[in-house]
Structures are given as structure tokens and as C-alpha cells.
Amino acid sequence: MAGTGFADGVAISEDAFAKINLALHVTGQRSDGYHLLEMLVTFTRSGDRLDFAPADTDEFHISGRFGGALASDGGTNLVLKARDALRLAIGDAGGAAPPVSIQLCKDLPIASGIGGGSADAAAALRGLMRLWGTPLPAETIDAIAIKLGADVPMCLASRPLIARGIGERIETVRDLPVFAMVLANPLKGVSTPEVFRRLATKTNGALAIVPGLSWLDALRSMRNDLEPPARALLPEIAEISDMLRDQGALFVRMSGSGATCFGIFAGMAEAQAARQALLGKRPDWYFEATETLAGDDDDRR
């Protein structure tokens, strides 16, 4: 196997892009308890950042606006689980995975429905594969990703896609346009298991993209089946959605199981103006103006 050490001994960086569920349909439930989903997913240029460098011993440092919330996470952090799983696979293949220093700059809110931890784990896999020079088979990396979490394979791809099953069956969407967007979160948690538990039905209609519709109209024909139970658990979701609409958002929806909501705006100037106005109203909440990645965008770092 090629790759017995660091790639030129040079420190590298990886972006962990925020994952946005433009639509999320719950279509069933497996016998093992996992819910069957059909999701239209995109990623934004806003996110966390990971830096990797050779070290004498393994190190892990966390900074950023929300870094303090992870300070006591210890070995449960998905970045460390990704490092250890990849190192084990490399060892099994006869390669070397020397000690590494990892710096996580945590700028995304924790447990907020935009895949922060999963995006970090995926960025760790991408970054360490580059740093260690490890050409592992794609199926090996995919197996590691799905064991880390259902969202990790999507975040590993970090491009517009449709995901089905528990998130492991992925189909790239190449014609999804770039959206100017404001991400909004009241910085209050909502329990994902409780959201699923409160679903009125777990056998909802499938995701379908109707030919001939604009993408905004197509989004309006889709749903996030988790939004109604999440709103019942956390009234701020409705409040923050109304605030986005009041600032001129063309389309508003909750992402994932919440509590982050996104508003699509006509352009980045409008999104940035909306963010400033929203921060003026609620400086204690999270608002971020960003844009999504295009389906053919190869800038993933």
C-alpha cells in the first residue's frame, strides 16, 4: 500500500461545510428503529474548519465561537472517532498513520440540525487521508463514514445530493443552483429522538422533483416532516421563521430536526442586510449570511 507517512510533512486544512436539509421526508421505519428518509441536501460555504499537522503525539484542540461547548467532550468527539477508525483501517491495510495534531475551529452551533459534528468527522476523514497519503478503497471509507453516523457519508461528499434510506444511498444533484441564504438558530436545543417520537405518521409521501418547476417552486412542493413536531417542542422555531420572512426571505424552512432554520434570499446583498437586521433584533441568537455550493463546485477545501 502507498502512503507510509505524511504528505510532504505539510500542515493542511479542511472545511466542514454546514449541511442543509432543503427537504426531509420520513417515509418509514426499519425493524432496528432507524427511520427511512428521503432528503434533498445542500451545503453552505459557512461551517467549521479543521487544521492537521504532524506531531510527536496525538493532539486535539478546539477553538471557535462554539468551541467551549465541546471542551469536555473528550474521546466522544466524532473527529477523534474518525481519526481512530481511519488509523485502524490504514493499519489493517499495512500502512502507517503517524501521530497528528488536529485543530477544530467550531463556528457552527452544536446539535442544531445542520450536521456540524458529522461535517467535522467527514472533514477529518478527508484531511487525514490527504495528510497520511492513504489511497484506501472508496468502499472502505464509505464503511467508516456510515459507522460514524448516518449524516457522515453525505458530509463526506459535501455537494448537492438526494439521500435515501438512513442517508447511505446518495445521488448527486448537479443542476441545483447556488442559493443566497441566512442560517438562523435561537441557540436552544431540541431533542432529535423526541422530534421523531412525536411524528404523527412515519409513512409519509416520497420525495419527488416535479419536472418543469423552478427550484424554488420545487422546494415549495416538498416538506420537512420533522418541522411540525420540532415547532411544538420549541416555539422559537416559529418565531425565527417569521423573522426571516419579515426580512424578505423568498423561502423559509427548518433544516433537519432543528432548531436551525434557513431563509433563501434574492442575493448575497439581501442576505447580508437581513442578517444585520436580525442581529439587531436578537443579538443573542445565531444568524449567518452565506451561500450554498453548486452541484459542479469542486472547491471543497
Catalytic positions, please? Answer: 19, 151
Please name which of 288, 285, 238, 247 lies closest in space to residue 266, comparing C-alpha atoms. 247
Residue 201 grid coordinates: 405518521
Query: What's the number of CA atoms in the CB half-sphere (13 Å) around residue 76?
Result: 4
- CA separation (Å) from 163 to 38, 40, 135, 242, 272? 6, 7, 25, 28, 30
Q: Supply 100's cell numbers.
A: 497528528
Q: Which of 87, 21, 9 is nearest to 55 (CA)?
A: 9
How crowded is residue 16: how many other Cβ atoms within 10 Å of its Cβ? Answer: 30
User: Contact 112/185 with Cβ under 8 angstroms?
Assistant: yes
